[in-house]
Amino acid sequence: MSSVCARCGRRLEPGKHVGALCIDCFLETTKLLCIDERIEFEYCKYCGSIRVGHKWIDGGDLGEASRKFVEWYVGNRVKPCTGYVREYVLEDVYAETIPSWRTVYRLTFGVLLEGVDGAVRQSYRVVVYARPTVCPMCKDIRGGDYNVLIQLRGANPKKLATSLSDLFSSDNHVTTSIIDIVELRNGADILLSDRGSASRIIKELRKHFYVKVLATGEDVGVSSRGRMRRRLVYSVRLREKRR
């Protein structure tokens, strides 16, 4: 093999070249990671959730959501473009423009290459578009529909409100999921859009009450795809714990 770089003619030093190219020429001519120059994600204009893969997660404001999607994209969609890449890590995400529906990011990676001493760095310019939409949870809420019903019995509404106040004030996902609360003499019905929030509410109630839970399902009609829709119903009996 030649002892000089085939591109610039500099002397090749051990651990500082890839094949017939010095490391500088190799980085100038080779894209190490396969990254799209333009990516887009769905952003719920009502609650700020973003879609990652097949699920929706909390995104925050537009700037936070955009950066969160970029980090998810790097962890799930970026792959090496050359067999020389051994490992890589995202070192920096820099917004070159003010975060908005169209944000330009500069992504810098540290990359370990086969036969090269230490990590090298390569940056990529990515334009990220946020596509405004409405997440399934907000569609249900705005349509007045609900997927989960918690039937709480054995405690008055005032006691239930006190017991759940910490959860409702600290967990935005739960409060967003609540479609309605119907107060009854000996309890309440809580109408929710997702099962995860129901589980969190029941878990919180166990801190204050002895809880007996019975889960059943009921048919609530047919979806737009022609599938039977089912609603999960939790019948929860409460008995106050002794202090």
- Cα separation, 134 vs 172, whole angstroms: 17
Per run of 10 residues, the mean pLDDT along the chain (length 243 residues) is: 83 89 93 95 88 89 93 94 94 93 95 92 95 80 77 90 88 83 88 89 93 87 62 90 65
pLDDT at position 230, please? 77
Nearby residues of 75 by Cβ (< 8 Å), 6 or more positions away: none
CA 82 from centroid of its chain's CA atoms:
29
CB 49 within 8 A of CB 58: yes
Model-level pTM?
0.61
Least Cα distance to 107 among 71, 133, 79, 150 occurs for 71
| DSSP label at residue 154 | S
DSSP 8-class letter at 16: S
> And the tokens for 208?
């204050």
Give burial (CB, 10 Å; 0-12/13-18/19+) of 103. Answer: buried
Q: What is the pLDDT of residue 27?
A: 94
What is the predicted pLDDT for the residue at 28? 93
Domain boundaries, the chain: 22-133, 136-240
